[in-house]
Amino acid sequence: MKKIILITVSLLVMSAFVFGQEKQKFDEKKFEKAMEKVDRAMEKLETDLEKIPESSDVKVIKIEKGSGNTPKMGVYLSDLDFQDAYEMHYPYCYGALITGVNDDGPAKKAGLIEGDIVMKFDGVKVKYEDHLVKLIHSKSIGDVVKVVAFRDENIIEAELELFSPKRESEEAIVTKDGKVKTKLSVGGGGGSWIPVWYAPKDEFEDINTLLDSVGFNLLDEKGIFTNGFGGKGNVGKGWFLGGMGTWYSIDKKRGYTTTNNMNVTRRMNYSFGYGGVTLDKRLAISKKLITSLGFMLGWGGHELEVSQTDGSYNWNEIKDNLEASDNNTIKISRDYIMFQPKVMMMYRILDWLGIRAEAGYLLSHSFTSGWNANSCGDTFEVNNSPDTSFDGYTISIGPWFGF
């Protein structure tokens, strides 16, 4: 203790010397010499502090490196001024005022409310707001501490367990043995445009047979690029509920000569699509990489329309046109219930943007054995039509807005 006093006196003397120089005309050399003396005094102070024995009156506290997660009480604090103390009939000159309490926080669960004055924290008298904050930060997440507070001229006691608020991408978890580990976030949800490469199992063979018979080019049986949209949200415990849909269409025209030697314009429009409700279970691999396993349950279908016209319509010739099929159209379709198991990987680039890759397999079931023809709002069975499926692989890679 004597060394501390001697060092303090030395510093005061050196300070007096420096300030004395200011009264004289500024001399750069004298100023540099003064600063050298101050530096030597500071070095001596550091050396003497290191020599202080543990049995000295000065208590040396070693601060160990923490987990990086800051414990919280779940309160808003303010210094206690004279007016607050007077209005609340608080007879002491120490303490920190609680000006707000977080929902589901430790203080709220322990029964502390706005307006309470924290007098002691874990047996230590609270001097002011910053003092209480330092006391809280000196603890670890999961520590149970006793808090003494003043409320309505009464002194109350409460026990609370310190916690760490959830971060944007992770949260702190305290195990039973008091260790802190990190739980990675699986995100909150989002949505995006969904491009899909669809590789059919065999249904394009049936459709191509019909297209070939009416004179149009065939579909690529290796696969077709489709477009769609989808989104999902976190419903708890890593489960995500959402929806999606995707579709494809092609429209072609060509000149054609009918069997009765009439020149007509023949048109073909083919489309298919599927969509439904999605359910996924996500697993976080890292802060930026997640994977999920889930499925889509919904509906889908094929639709093919072939029409032709010679561009000439006459009220008196409508009957003849129908019989000659110069101006005619036919629309056939097939509907399914769809089920699609799939696996997904997503990499987070920004807080609001990621890259998503998904692979799945479509399974279909139809309640009819063949295609149906649609005319004037009525549906008719198409005799001898094939039992075309809607099965195949799907691959999707694209942006995802959200996480």
pTM: 0.56
Q: What is the mean pLDDT of residues 142-155?
A: 92
Express each pLDDT in 98-141 by its tens digit: 998 988 788 998 999 999 999 999 999 999 999 999 999 898 88
Residue 347's DSSP bridge partners are: 289, 355
Is the pLDDT reported for residue 30 higher than 70? no
Check pLDDT > 80 for residue 295: yes
Mean pLDDT, the chain, whole residue set? 82
Please answer whether residues 386 and 370 qualify as being in contact, where contact means their C-beta atoms are separated by less than 8 angstroms.
yes
Q: What is the helix (H) or strand (E) element at residue 1, kind and residue range?
A: none
pLDDT of the residue at 35: 61
Residue range 162-218, pLDDT digits in tens = 886 654 444 555 454 545 555 678 888 999 999 999 999 888 899 999 999 888 999
Q: Give the model's confidence band at 257: pLDDT under 50 very low, under 70 low, under 90 confident, else very high.
A: confident
Q: What is the pLDDT of residues 149-162, one digit of tens each?
A: 999 999 999 999 88
- Please determine, for residue 367, whether its predicted confidence score (pLDDT) is greater than 60: yes
DSSP string, 239-291: EEEEEEEEEEEEEEEEEEE-TTS-EEEEEEEEEEEEEEEEEEEEEESSSSEEE
Average pLDDT, integer, range 270-295? 94
pLDDT at 61 (0 to 100) = 42
The predicted structure's pLDDT at residue 188:
87
CA 18, CA 39: separation in Å to the nearest integer? 12
pLDDT value at residue 170: 47
Question: Which of 368, 359, 367 minimizes the C-alpha distance to 392?
Answer: 359
User: Phi and psi of 24, rounded to 5°?
Assistant: -90, 175
- In sequence order, which residues have a C-beta less than 8 Å from that of residue 21 and are 6 or more positions away? 27, 30, 31, 34
More confident residue, 66 or 367: 367
Q: Give residue-wise pLDDT tens across range 37-80.
A: 656 665 665 555 555 554 444 444 444 444 446 788 888 899 88
DSSP string covering 190-227? EEEEEEEEEEESSHHHHHHHHHHHTT-PPP-TT-EEEE
What is the amino acid identity at position 267? R
Res 54: pLDDT: 47
**What's the confidence (pLDDT) of residue 18?**
46
Give SS3 for 4. helix
Query: What is the percent of the chain where pLDDT is above 70?
Result: 78
